[in-house]
Amino acid sequence: MKRQIFLRASGYVAVALILNGLIFSLGWNDTGVTRQATPPWFAPPGWVIGAIWTLLFAGMGAADVLLSARLPGAGRARLVGRLLAFDCLAYTFYALATDSVWAGFAGNIGTVLLAATAALLARPHDRRAAALLGLVALWSAYATSIVVYRLAGAGQ
């Protein structure tokens, strides 16, 4: 199973890295969602955010395998976990590409709710998978606070 976890996590990370390449090549990394005159004191540098998302995608891939190993009854949790990964990848298109802070805010709220749901559904089947999916909810909630700072016009 360790090999499966490694391969699935690597696949999820590879997709995220390819999408990051698209983000940077098209200049979407410097949009209203990410650009602020003065970032909040609690916002990490961009490379830290990227590293954390890389780890979160690896965790979502690992959770997918952990839920696969316990297929009886875990199918819904696995499906919601996969939808969560898709949702996280889609952020690029509905927030960054459109340069919409409001779309980023709505997307973050949706991601928090979807990640929390995935974690709750996974918990009865595999606590490790639930924890990995729960980390996405925690990080997305934190990221939402940065977007709220931006929406409030703080630091402008």
Say which residue the tokens 């409030």 belong to. 152
Q: With residue 141 as reference, give the H or E element that holds it.
A: helix 127-151
Average pLDDT over residues 124-153: 91
Q: State how far the Cα of 94 lies from the Cα of 80, in Å rounded to an integer.
A: 20
Tokens of 120: 């709750």
Structure tokens at 12: 């999820």
Summarised one tens digit per residue, pLDDT across range 65-120 is 999 865 678 889 999 999 999 999 888 777 766 677 788 888 899 999 999 999 99
What is the pLDDT averaged over residues 25-42? Answer: 63
Residue reference for tokens 């995608």:
57
User: How many CA atoms lie less than 13 Å away from 60 in the CB half-sphere?
Assistant: 29
What average pLDDT does this structure show over 34-52? Answer: 77
11-20, 24-33, 92-101, 128-137: least confident range: 24-33
Counting residues of the chain whose pLDDT is more than 90, the rounded percentage is 42
Percent of the chain at pLDDT exceeding 70 = 85
